[in-house]
Amino acid sequence: MEPIRSLRNPALQRVRALRRTSERRAQGRFAVEGEDQVLAAIRAGAVLEDLLVREGASAPAGAGVEPLVVAAEAMDRISAVASGSRVIAVVRADSMPQPPAGLSGVGLVLCGVSDPGNVGTLLRTAAAFAAEVVVLGAPSADPTAPKAVRAATGATFAVPTLAVDDPALAYPEARLVALDAKGDRDLAGCDLTGPVLIALGAEREGLPASVRDRADVVCRIPQSDRAESLNVAAAGAIALSMAYRLST
């Protein structure tokens, strides 16, 4: 098969367009790069609409779509990764895991976490510690952004996400534990058994008033004075790890 070389090819144009949030929302699609990421999507049952494979590379099995062979130079031009990718897939967003109607265990709430790398890392952490859902309060980053998908390392297809305007109202049956550096109680003394939502705010802005007001308790993670605060992904990992230990 002669590899695709022209960037005018519709499949290549679609991948490039999906770097933009507006295009991902309009099309209901997003791109996944790298063999491990694409395999995670396939194993999770995600629907692939395009599968682009670098000339000389092998296509992953079970994709359910005919692979398109792309010349190396063209593949590098459409990749969102500086080093280029061997495999890129276009995935239908509606084939991702759906958020639960109700919460029985632990959920993570992200309030205005705008860095897609942090969102992806927290998705990965949520998968590791069996969180049932990640609730994204505006204006949190899109979990299907290229950087978020890479940071999630496959967790995009393991943990459902729910984007809402007011995350405090997402699961009213759950206790809401808010994390803040100036919280009233040590996190170790907070009840993290489900159903519970653990809320994290943006590193500069912190938690919105609606979440703090709705919270059953505002907790802090004790730390030394050698750093002003924890990175939001680190704080989320500590809290989810503690909750997971209580559930196992």
Q: pLDDT (tens digit, 9 = 90+) per residue, 151-195?
A: 999 999 999 999 999 988 899 999 999 998 888 899 999 999 999
Please tell me the distance from the alpha carbon of residue 180 to that of residue 160, in angstroms, as a whole number. 25
pLDDT at 36: 93
User: Going edge to edge, which strands form the sheet with 185-186?
Assistant: 161-164, 133-137, 106-111, 196-201, 175-179, 217-220, 185-186
Residues forming CATH 3.40.1280.10 domain(s) in the chain: 106-247
pLDDT at 50: 96
pLDDT at 99: 96
- What CATH superfamily is the domain 106-247? SPOUT methyltransferase, trefoil knot domain (3.40.1280.10)
Residues forming CATH 3.30.1330.30 domain(s) in the chain: 10-95
pLDDT at 225: 81
Question: Yes or no: is domain 10-95 CATH 3.30.1330.30?
Answer: yes
pLDDT at 101: 95
pLDDT at 162: 97
pTM of the model: 0.93
Residue in the block written with tokens 């005919």: 66
**Bond preceding residue 139 cis, omega within 30 of 0:** yes
Closest to 80 (Cα-Cα) out of 143, 141, 148: 148
Q: Which residues of the chain have pLDDT under 70?
A: 1
